[in-house]
Amino acid sequence: MNHSDANNDNPQGEVLRKGSLLRTMKAVAWSLIGLRKDSEYRNDLERINPLHIIAVGLIAIFALVAFLIVAVKLIV
């Protein structure tokens, strides 16, 4: 399918994203660390659904905070 066929299938101009959960988790993990290649970042912008990024990001932050709380309680 070429670029013109994609426009015919999607008349409103909406971006169709087909990103897997694993790819979303990988992108969020790299963003939490702060390391990401520009080419991978651009691929993620095209393929990953923004709502999936938000959901996985919130879960990851919650898990990180819970881990830190448990670690502090075990140490102190």
pLDDT at position 9 is 55
pLDDT at position 74 is 96
DSSP sequence for 6-52: HHHH-TT-PPP----HHHHHHHHHHHHHT---HHHHHHHHHHS-HHH
pLDDT at position 15 is 55
d(CA 17, CA 27) in angstroms, rounded, equals 15
Q: pTM of the full predicted structure?
A: 0.62
> What one-letter code names the amino acid at 16?
L
pLDDT at position 17 is 60
**pLDDT means over runs of 10, the chain (76 residues):** 50 60 85 80 83 90 96 95
